[in-house]
Amino acid sequence: MNYWLIKTEPNCYSFDDLVREKRTRWDGVTNNWALKFIREVKKGDRVFVYHTGKDKHIAGTAEVVKAPYPDPEADDDKIVVFDVKPLKPLKKPVTLAEIKKDKRFADFELVKFSRLAVMPVSPERWDFLLTLGQSAPQS
């Protein structure tokens, strides 16, 4: 199993929207580097849902329920999407400010490449971020 962080603007689509809908297609990504990461996503992988904009925090966790496939709404086969379902919100959202304060995250894509919409998260970082969010590890 791999771990990922996906970003969304909460006024467009929030973690609460995902909980309400129970499942969604994760789309709208066109950056080549982010698309490379999407192609590595597998069914069963775990995902942090990160709110961008003024909030800037990890809101909750989700699970990949359908592996990457060509975006049916795009005219370009290079554009891929995947489907996720919510797992649970973090008890305490983990803010970007908290993450930036911790030297263990100095080379984390979220800190170094702030505009990247999809990025890997190491298992160690995943567990530590869950701890910061006061959530038990999810297997």
Kindly give the confidence (pLDDT) of every residue in the chain, 139 residues in length, as a single tens digit, with 9 standing for 90 and above.
999 999 999 999 999 999 999 999 999 999 999 999 999 999 999 999 999 999 899 999 999 999 999 999 999 989 999 999 999 999 999 999 999 999 999 999 999 998 899 999 999 999 999 999 997 665 5
In this predicted structure, what is the pLDDT of residue 33?
Answer: 95
3-class secondary structure, 64: strand
Q: What is the DSSP string of 42-58?
A: -TT-EEEEEE-TTT-EE
In this predicted structure, what is the pLDDT of residue 60?
Answer: 97
Q: Name the burial class of residue 7, with classes exposed (0-12), middle (13-18) and buried (19+) by CB atoms within 10 angstroms of its CB.
A: buried
* 61: β partners: 48, 88
Question: How far is Cα of residue 128 from the mean position of the Cα atoms in its chain?
Answer: 15
> CB neighbours of 32 closer than 8 A, spacing ≥ 6?
none
Return the CATH class of domain 3-132.
alpha beta
1 within 8 A of 40, measured Cβ to Cβ: no
CA atoms within 13 A on the CB side of 120: 13
Pure H helices in the chain: 15-21, 32-40, 96-101, 109-112, 123-132
In this predicted structure, what is the pLDDT of residue 137?
Answer: 62
